[in-house]
Amino acid sequence: MTERIIDNELRLIPYYRNDEASLPWYQDLDVCRQVDNREKPYDVELLHRMYDYLTAHGDCYYIEYKGVLVGDVSLRENSEIAVVVCKEYQNQHIGRRCVLEMLKLAREKGMERVKANIYSFNGHLLGDFANMCEYCARNGLVKGLTIQERLQSVINSASIIRPMLPEPEDIEDPHGKEYAKFRTAAEQTNKALRTILTSMRKHYRVEEAPVRPQITRQYAYTV
């Protein structure tokens, strides 16, 4: 396993023991709740057991962003992708870019399907995927008979279509906030999920381009 260069900001470094960098990520209670649904932070022993399991059952990398380790990403033998990005570096498209790199790795390994766990609340990623699904549906890029095949066809087109997509709506993490925040997050999440499911319909209606009236000039000829 070697390091993987994603772009001029991001690279993935094969896992090695680095408790000084990684332990603080898993002592954040929000991350602990999202990863393991636990109310206690990790200690060094639990951290080592987790990383030992990930490295024994797949590929595990540190995420380096602009020279700083900011999280980890793994692809397990069961085709499961997991990403953790520390709070200070969220909402900078780091998790999304790492997932796309793991999809490349999955294809290199001959995996036909993958599933992803994006740890740390990331409504930004959900909105981004909804935009991708809608774009692919409108442009006839969704392929396949099953829902899994059709979703995978969107993932396969991601790197090509991303420059054409609008900035996704960010869904604020409602954890620990008032009820109104939960309601807003739920409505935004449901909206994104409806967009994804609607885009996966086999008979999605592709809108025709608007007809523009031709500009004509009338000429008078004298014979």
Q: Which residue(s) pair with 59 in the sheet?
A: 75
Q: With beta carbons less than 8 A apart as the criterion, state whether 12 and 64 touch.
A: yes
186-212: average pLDDT: 74
Is pTM beyond 0.85 here?
no
Q: How large a percentage of the chain has pLDDT more than 90?
A: 24
Task: Report pLDDT digits (tens) over 100-149.
Answer: 888 889 888 888 777 765 554 455 567 888 888 898 898 888 988 888 88
Q: Is the pLDDT of residue 190 over 50?
A: yes
Which residues in 41-51 are b (16+ Cβ under 10 Å) and which e? ebeeeebeebb
Q: Which domains does the chain have, with CATH numbers?
A: 1-120 (3.40.630.30), 123-203 (no CATH)
Task: Report pLDDT digits (tens) over 19-41.
Answer: 999 999 998 887 777 676 677 88
Q: Which helix (H) or strand (E) holds 8?
A: none
Place 52 in a pLDDT band, splitting at 50, 70 and 90: very high
For residues 93 and 80, the model is more confident at 80
Q: With beta carbons less than 8 A apart as the criterion, state whether 55 and 17 touch.
A: no
Among 92, 95, 105, 102, which residue's Cα sits nearest to residue 71? 95
Q: Average per-residue pLDDT in the chain? A: 80
